[in-house]
Amino acid sequence: MRKIYPEPHAGLMLGILIGAKSSLPDWLLSVFQVIGITHIIAISGYNITILAQVAEKTLGKIGRKYIFWGVLAMIVAFVLMTGASASVVRAGVMGGLLVYAGFIGRKSGIINALIFAGAIMIALNPLILRNDVGFQLSFLATLGLVYISPIFEKWFAHIPGFFRELLSATLAAQVFTLPIIISNFGLLSLISPIANILILPFIPISMFLGFASGLAGMIWLSLGRIVGFFGYIILEIVIKTSELLASIPYASVELKMGNWWIWGGYYILVGFFIWRWYRRNINKRAP
């Protein structure tokens, strides 16, 4: 990547592909924090899903049994290669469970997979439940996507589908992770929903071009740079857009609030609202 892309584009591409936050310059990381898009450089279930799909298509002609073990081996290798952080392990375990469900012909359950992944990780290291912020954010964001995102999607029914999904997912993850973010970082991004709508569509494209340029560069460096030119354009759009959004006054605000009882009450209210909303909507659908 560093032979193909200039900085900070090389560092950003490494962050997007393998979650290497240390490769980003401090000023760019600060910009991402201000506008609330640091998750684009964190390996998640999205990366695992792409990997599984690519592996499945690649191994599709050699038999169903070999596809399962091949995809599983690639997920394990990817988790180890990226450092096996809490979010990556969670995504890897859940991805492996979903692949296994498809292999045995069972319908996969995202909550069951999430709980199973959490149980394994806590059993191996109980301290991550309290000390690992990445673990907390990863699981809470996933819960938000499962339970709150459908609520926002119904509220934003008048917004076009693609943008509605982006906005709903962003807000849903923020609702569940807000206490952890404020307690640990003291920063709340007010422009995050807009930033995610504008920037997230470019991330899958950059991942594809980064992967393609890396493979091409292994064969012939000049070919990798040709492919990488298009990746450079996408990354430049992401960087310039991020800088522009971060320069807007009050893009983020500093908050200092770490009282456990306040956040405990917050989660109780959120849980009560979710329960009432699903109960009301289930009753409406009942015959």
What is the Cα–Cα distance from 235 to 23, expressed in whole angstroms?
A: 15
Report how far apart, in Å, the C-alpha atoms of 47 and of each of 187, 197, 260 are: 27, 19, 33
Q: What is the pLDDT of residue 256?
A: 72
98-120, pLDDT tens digit by residue? 777 766 666 667 777 778 878 88
108 backbone φψ class: left, alpha, beta (φ>0; ψ -120 to 50):
beta
- Strand 187-189 vs strand 252-254: parallel, antiparallel, or unpaired? antiparallel
Number of other CB atoms surrounding residue 145 within 10 Å = 18
pLDDT bracket for residue 245 (50, 70, 90) = very high
pLDDT bracket for residue 151 (50, 70, 90) = confident
Counting beta carbons within 10 angstroms of the beta carbon of residue 131, is it exposed (0 to 12), middle (13 to 18) or buried (19 or more)? exposed
Report how far apart, in Å, the C-alpha atoms of 13 and of each of 22, 146, 214, 246 are: 12, 28, 10, 20
Percent of the chain with pLDDT over 70: 84
Least confident of 44-48, 71-75, 120-124: 44-48
What is the Cα–Cα distance from 185 to 19, expressed in whole angstroms?
A: 19
What is the Cα–Cα distance from 275 to 281, expressed in whole angstroms?
A: 10
205-239, pLDDT tens digit by residue? 888 899 889 989 999 999 999 999 999 999 999 99
What is the Cα–Cα distance from 67 to 72, expressed in whole angstroms?
A: 8
Phi–psi pair at 282, nearest 5 degrees: -65, -40
Residue 252: which of 194, 198, 199 has the closest Cα? 194
Q: What is the pLDDT of residue 41?
A: 77
pLDDT bracket for residue 57 (50, 70, 90) = low
pLDDT bracket for residue 50 (50, 70, 90) = low
Q: What is the pLDDT of residue 226?
A: 93
- Written as six digits, the tokens of 159 are 């917004």
Q: What is the dihedral of CA 240, 168, 44, 215, to 10 degrees?
A: -50
Mean pLDDT of the chain: 80
pLDDT bracket for residue 64 (50, 70, 90) = low
Q: What is residue 175's three-state secondary structure?
A: helix
What's the Rg (C-alpha) of the chain?
20
Q: What is the pLDDT of residue 283?
A: 59
